[in-house]
Amino acid sequence: MTDLTISPISGALGAEISGVDITSPLDEETIAAIRQALLDHLVIFFRDQHFEPDAYMRFARYFGTPAEYPLVPGIAGYPEITEVIKLEHERNNFGGIWHADTNYLPEPPMGTMLNALEVPPYGGDTLFANQYLAYETLSEGLRTSLDTLTIVNTSAKADVSKTREDVIRNSGNDAPVLDHVVEHPAVRTHPETGRKCLFVNVAHASHFKGWTEAESAPLLDYLFQHQVRPELTCRFRWQVGSLAFWDNRAAQHNPINDYHGYRRVMRRITLAGEKPY
């Protein structure tokens, strides 16, 4: 096995891995070590990894099944690889709010990979938040209540749908944008670790099942603020060739939109997940 070095970057989550070229084929022991690091740290980072699409797909397949993104088409010949681009003249960034990826699908992704092709000279960092800790640091009474609740998730939340619709329009796709609506538990059990984590996010959660939006808002607003407290987060500064791989089941992320006038180009792969329980 390659001599991996795993260096945590914060007390809450996140670790940088060095000593491996993930653009080349990997042996089973190295793959297992990387997967365990993902489970332990929720988001892992690599530097100086310059992928061609075939190599990117190979690396992704070590950990799951690449899935097509429902709202934005993939690059030519690789429908599972989508580009996340903000151009110099644009003011909105893609998914620029705290969220887990596509919680409005019946089976949200198990994980997401993002590889940096072009980055601004400063800014454009990404924040991540640990949703195990978000759940575990709530009071026992609130945890007990949330364990019984179901969240209605929708792709139509205005804060993110605007930027996504802009991406679709710019891609030349004139098909109508369909709203995805699905119900998931407010607290899910991670299928690999068995730990409980908070599974609501401001980008997709509309209301609790059986509650009105007005009734849901005070509790949801509290959870949205609690789950991204600074001590539950880490921050990653991108460089060309950086790759982030996060566990979408137990981590949220937020790309910071602080680099107006500069170009940022990423390529993303999401890995198919399972129905939360």
Please give the Cα distance from 248 to 113 (Å, whole number): 10
> Rg of the Cα trace of the chain?
18
Return the pLDDT at 165. Answer: 46
Active-site choice (207, 253, 264, 267):
253
Q: Is 41 tagged catalytic?
A: no
Active-site choice (41, 101, 207, 249):
101
Q: Which two tokens stand for residue 161?
A: 């749908």
Number of H helices, E strands in the chain: 6, 16
* HEC per residue, 18-45: ECCCCCCCCCHHHHHHHHHHHHHHCEEE
- CB–CB of 213/205 below 8 Å? no
Listed residue (146, 94, 123) closest to 253, CA to CA? 94
What is the H or E stretch that residue 244 is in?
Answer: strand 243-247
Return the pLDDT at 268. Answer: 97
CB atoms within 10 A of CB 14: 24
CATH number of 5-271: 3.60.130.10
Please give the Cα distance from 128 to 228 (Å, whole number): 8
Return the pLDDT at 90. Answer: 87
Active-site choice (99, 190, 207, 249):
99
Please give the Cα distance from 46 to 28 (Å, whole number): 18
Q: Is 99 tagged catalytic?
A: yes
Return the pLDDT at 46. Answer: 98
What pTM did the predictor assign?
Answer: 0.92
Q: Is 101 tagged catalytic?
A: yes
Q: Is 268 tagged catalytic?
A: yes
Return the pLDDT at 157. Answer: 75
Return the pLDDT at 71. Answer: 72
Please give the Cα distance from 103 to 235 (Å, whole number): 22
CB atoms within 10 A of CB 272: 16
- CB–CB of 233/127 below 8 Å? yes
Residue-by-residue DSSP string for 80-119:
TEEEEEE-TT----TT-SSB-TTTTSSS--SEEEEEEEE-
Q: Which two tokens stand for residue 267?
A: 């390529």
Instruction: Going residue by residue through the chain, which has 277 residues, state the pLDDT in tens, using 9 for 90 and above.
Output: 568 999 999 999 999 999 999 999 999 999 999 999 999 999 999 999 999 999 999 999 999 999 998 778 899 999 999 999 999 988 777 777 999 999 999 999 999 999 999 999 999 999 999 999 999 999 999 999 999 999 999 988 755 545 554 455 555 555 555 678 999 999 999 999 999 999 999 999 999 999 999 999 999 999 999 999 999 999 999 999 999 999 999 999 999 999 999 999 999 999 999 999 9
Return the pLDDT at 171. Answer: 54
